[in-house]
Amino acid sequence: MANIVIDRIRKSFGSFEALKEVSLTINDGEFVSLLGPSGCGKTTLLRIIAGLETATSGDVRIGEKSVIGLPPKDRGLAMVFQNYAVFPHMTVYENVAFGLRMQKAEDRRVKAQVEKAAGLLHIEQYLDRYPNKLSGGQRQRVAVARALAVEPKVLLMDEPLSNLDALLRLEMRTELKTVLQSAGTTTIYVTHDQTEAMGLSDRIAVMHGGVVEQVGSPVDVYNHPATRFVGGFIGNPPMNFIKVPVANGQVMAGADQLAVPREAGNEIVLGLRGEAVELAPPQQGLEMKVRVAEPMGSHLLLTGSIHDQPVRVILPASETVKSGDTIGLKLDRNRITWLSPESGKSFPAVAA
């Protein structure tokens, strides 16, 4: 069993609080992504789990056992560093073999494991080269291979594919996912790339300013963001936030009446995914003034305003809307998120 429990971890650097009470549980064999903007504390959290940094307070348990105070090598994990940390004075082969050599594995096993990991990451042809002769993306793959070669119970990866081109990244992440899944590796995967996080993860933890704002399945996080930040950070285009007046517990969206949560005041923020709409006749739908209409081939991207607030929506490519038009939109009730204008937190979903 290698589940990870992160229990109220705080970390301060001097007076700066990099992590403010982060709690997160990762089940055995689960793949969890840490997603968040630069500087939100992703690397710091990984380093605390790995034992490279001491938390100011809080506990980390791996497999039900507290690892606070345990040196990194006794935590039974492998890590891919954000800046690779591939040893420049060793060949790629020796780099990948490093962990196994430290375990005093016999040569035959080392060779087999190195070849397996190298094959997976397509670096077989560089095995006897030195890392300085490799590109950033190649070095990054060496770092991933080095971590995979030891077949760890827990794998921490800090933006492991950030330097690869789009095509290779897609291929690598699929293969990575397959391998880790079949090995049952508990994985924490830091990334900036939300499609990567959506595609790979069992669950996503969205971090912001040293806090985990939401943990949930990719679909959950996408459709029901817990905070305004999460909705704005995830998805392209980001979620639209429209402040609307509430009357009698209802919000009018064109001819439709939408029930809002009981806790709402006179105003509420309507969180709307760009694609959770369809075109409706102007009198019936919610009115949108289209400033720019961009046909993207697969869909039509409209930028404009609703209630004088900027929005972006997506319609099927077959619709014909031109820049300057005023249109009506019918909202998909089940995909609306209601948020408090004051706190920016979402209300629990209301029964439709």
Ligand X SMILES: Nc1ncnc2c1ncn2[C@@H]1O[C@H](COP(=O)(O)OP(=O)(O)OP(=O)(O)O)[C@@H](O)[C@H]1O
Candidates 2, 9, 43, 160: give the one binding ligand X (CB under 6 A): 43
Classify 120 in phi/psi space as left (phi over 0), alpha (psi -120 to 50) or beta.
alpha
Nearer to other proteins, 185 or 194 (CB): 185
**Nearer CB in complex with ligand X: 54/66:** 54
**Number of DSSP helices (H) and strands (E) in the chain, helices first:** 8, 20
Indicate the residue among 65 and 101 with the shorter CB distance to other proteins: 101
Binding mask 44-73 for other proteins (x = CB under 8 A): ------x-x------------------xxx
212 in contact with ligand X (CB under 6 A): no
CA distance 175 to 228: 33
- Map residues 65-84 to x or -, x wherever contact with Mg ion holds by CB under 5 A: -----------------x--
Give dist(CA 238, CA 152) in Å, integer.
36
Cβ within 8 Å of residue 325, ≥6 positions away: 290, 293
Q: What angle do CA 102, 107, 109 make, to 5 degrees?
A: 85
Element (H, E) at 26: strand 16-26
Q: Is 297 left (phi over 0), alpha (psi -120 to 50) or beta?
A: left
Binding mask 23-42 for ligand X (x = CB under 6 A): -------------x-xxxxx
Contact call for residue 141 and other proteins (CB under 8 A): no
Check: CB of residue 35 under 8 Å from CB of residue 204.
Answer: yes
Under the criterion CB under 6 A, does residue 18 sit at the interface with ligand X?
yes
Q: In the complex, what is the shortest distance from the CB of residue 195 to ligand X, in angstroms, rounded to a whole number?
A: 16
Nearer to other proteins, 94 or 287 (CB): 94
- Number of residues near other proteins (by CB under 8 A): 23
Residues that bind ligand X (CB under 6 A): 13, 16, 18, 36, 38-44, 82
